Structure 1
Amino acid sequence: MPVSTVDRALAERLADVAGEAIRPLFRAAYTQELKADRSPVTQADRAAEAAMRRLLDAEAPGDGVVGEEYGEKHGVTGRRWVLDPIDGTRSFTAGRAIFGTLIALVEDGWPVLGVIDQPIQCERWLGVAGRPTLFNGVAVRTRGCAALEGLLLATTSPHLFGEEEAAGFLRLVAAVSGGHGTQGPVYGGDCYNYGLVASGHLDLVCEAGLQLHDFAALVPVVEGAGGRMCDWQGDPLSAASAGQVLAIGDPARVDDVLEALHG
């Protein structure tokens, strides 16, 4: 069913309450620890997700909720809100304002609404299936690319790839750089990179090892701006996807990207 104006308003309110929890702790004193996978979690991550869950309990009690920090609450509507309170916790702990809060509405396994919110810079992308993506309320578009060479490619960190994935990524780097070392990828950025694709500043993001809370919100944002989100086989992203993710600003370059990635 179409995403309602009530759903869109709720998604924005979720971003608002998450930002209210995060901003006082940015570049300030807060507690943090390492999770079982050795990734950091901070007081801000937990406070932001808890605030969003309280709002969902009040406004959409029948919907399911999946969050990075507090797991899954099963619902009865076939809808799930997927939350990542701070995507890019390492950037947050380093005082770099390129992390973001991710909020997605997933229906029958497919992301139909997504928010990327950067609460320090007050930047927000809102994507809804079938509607143009908005950046701070204004429609944005990805940019066209005549060829693979020269595309501006980004990834959070090459250290997050497995051995075979790293080889594919390096083939992609070679293809977009045309062998010129000065035209290498942009590193760092997490979800912020996908907002930059939607706004036409980056052309391509390549990542692996992502969880549903990492990528669900990105799909409506990039695709509503005219881009394409898919896995490394070119298939659409859903709750069943394995976590290899591509965001391609110009859909005409999808086959070129896949050919370069797989050699």
Structure 2
Amino acid sequence: MVQNDLKLTLADHAARIADIAGDAARGYFRGRLGVEFKTDESPVTQADKGVEDKVREYIKEHFPDHGIFGEEHGIEGENSRQMWVIDPIDGTRSFLSGHPLFGFLLCHLMDGLPQIGVIGMPALNEVLIGEKGQGTTLNGSLVRSSAQTELSKAILFVNEGEKLHRDYPEMFDQLINAAQTMRFSYDCYPHALLAMGHVDAVVDYDLQPYDYLAVSVVVEEAGGIVTDWAGRPLTLQSDGRIVSAATPQLHAQLLTQVNS
């Protein structure tokens, strides 16, 4: 039975949007893509724009008084109390090279505070949804971060490693030797793995609000903690340097590492 739209919660709508975005992304994936480059040299494809267009269309139809902040088309209704923040293809370089670990990110804000976060992995058919006070689900089943409290025993993912090495070489050298298992990666999937309990911590760098806000809700509602490098909660104004960890103890050890 199809639910009546009037009975859908915001989380239900977020799940619908993730399905729409996933279907749209799969329609482009490993096809022939036209690629442009932004002023910061990051690529943007027809898929990024096409997926965001579909998502914006849905939000405008169902929530005409809500603001929208998307990576490709900017902000509409910036003074709205409620806003949806969209990254249509998180990991465009992965997407255009045929690598399946690109994601879709969506966050719902109320008065600037994240309330719902979505990490969709279209090529993997995985959708994680975190809702404040309700936990995080993976395809409808609750997930939980690990109980790891010791960095020396942890599985740590370092995102944007070449940028960290360029800008913080001494910290980078300490960080890559701090955990029991360390992997380099990019984009949102390491944070999703943390929420699922497979990874214990992620250090990330050079992000935008549409990269980190959805991630913060998904991880925190799974029992983890996400802040900037100074230990502050993430907002639209955060500087894009973040630490995700499964437990407060592990998070504190990582903050020491990135601020050493």
How much does 1:105 deviate? 0.4
Structure 2: runs of 5 or more not aligned: 1-6
How much does 1:76 deviate? 5.5
RMSD of equivalent CA atoms = 1.6
> Does 2:178 match 1:175?
yes
SS at match of 2:135: coil
Counterparts of residues 137-176 of structure 1 (less than 5 Å): 137-161=140-164, 163-176=166-179
Structure-2 separation of matches of 1:100 and 1:30: 17
Counterparts of residues 2-41 of structure 1 (less than 5 Å): 5-41=8-44
Identity of aligned residues (%): 36
Tell whether the 8 Å contact from 1:232 to 1:244 is kept in structure 2 after alignment: yes
| CA distances 1:16-44 after superposition (whole Å, capped 9, x unpaired) | 11112111211111211111111111111
**TM-score scaled by length of structure 1:** 0.91
What code does the residue aligned with 1:161 have? L
Tell whether the 8 Å contact from 2:243 to 2:255 is kept in structure 1 after alignment: no
Counterparts of residues 18-167 of structure 1 (less than 5 Å): 18-74=21-77, 77-161=80-164, 163-167=166-170
Tell whether the 8 Å contact from 2:82 to 2:109 is kept in structure 1 after alignment: yes
What code does the residue aligned with 1:234 have? G
Question: Which residue matches 2:242?
Answer: 245
C-alpha change, 1:112 and 1:34, in structure 2 (3 Å) is: same
Question: Which residue matches 2:232?
Answer: 235
What code does the residue aligned with 1:244 have? R
C-alpha change, 1:219 and 1:40, in structure 2 (3 Å) is: same
How much does 1:75 deviate? 5.2
SS at match of 1:120: helix
What code does the residue aligned with 1:217 have? A
Tell whether the 8 Å contact from 2:114 to 2:213 is kept in structure 1 after alignment: yes
Equivalent of 1:198 in 195, 198, 206: 195
How much does 1:170 deviate? 2.8
Structure 1: runs of 5 or more not aligned: 178-182
Structure-2 separation of matches of 1:89 and 1:122: 18
| CA distances 1:216-235 after superposition (whole Å, capped 9, x unpaired) | 10111000100000111111
Runs of 4+ in 1 over 6 A off after TM superposition: none
Tell whether the 8 Å contact from 2:85 to 2:107 is kept in structure 1 after alignment: yes
**TM-score scaled by length of structure 2:** 0.92
| CA distances 1:193-235 after superposition (whole Å, capped 9, x unpaired) | 1110000111111111111000010111000100000111111
What code does the residue aligned with 2:243 have? L
> Does 2:252 match 1:258?
no
